[in-house]
Amino acid sequence: MDRTDTSLIALRRILRATELYGRTLAQTAGLTPVQIRVLQIVLSHGSATPKQISLQMGVSPATISTLLDRLETKSMLERQRSDVDRRQTNIVLTEKGRKAVEGAPDPLQQKYVKEFEALADWEQAMIVAALERVAAMLNASAIDASPLLDMGEIHRTHPPDNTDGS
């Protein structure tokens, strides 16, 4: 077997793992992985703005707006005007949304992050470079993080860089 075949098999395994996780999540919680991700972000912050969620997930504001609409329709979250700035909308979980997050199976990404962060710096850099290259090869570099492939909350051992002051 050549390297091309081996690389395609590895990609198929990754995609299959995310697909199986998504099915389990849909059966257990009745939500997609990306919907659970939104709920988890809001839960972790107590409340969040659509912009904060968009930035943390790496998706466009339009994508977040659609996700919030769907979750609001399912009574998982509510939009509330900020008491501080009436132009700002805060997203808060309902009790139903909180229960959905707490009852969801452990996200596949948690396992990945735990294993990834245990690697040496050079191994992490190599994996990031390889994954970015694969994304570029598939013309996926400028695409939002796909709701189909988002696997859930990323639990990091350190906070993300916050260079925009928010």
Per-residue pLDDT tens for 64-116?
Answer: 999 999 999 999 999 998 888 888 899 999 999 999 888 877 767 677 878 99
pLDDT category at 145 given cuts 50, 70, 90 is: low
Model pLDDT, residue 62: 92
User: How many CA atoms within 13 Å lie on the side-chain side of 13?
Assistant: 6
CA distance 151 to 21: 7
Q: Encoding tokens for residue 21?
A: 């996780």
Model's pTM, two decimal places? 0.61
117-127 as b/e: b if 16+ CB within 10 A? eeeeeeeeeee
Residue at token pair 């904060």: 52
Q: Are 22 and 77 in contact (CB under 8 A)?
A: no
Percent of the chain with pLDDT over 90: 46
Q: Encoding tokens for residue 158?
A: 């350190």
pLDDT in tens, 14-71: 889 888 887 887 777 788 888 988 998 999 999 999 999 999 998 899 999 999 999 9
Give the CA angle between residues 128, 133, 136 to the nearest 5°. Answer: 130
Going from the N-terminus, what domains does the chain have, and what CATH number goes with each?
A: 15-137 (1.10.10.10)
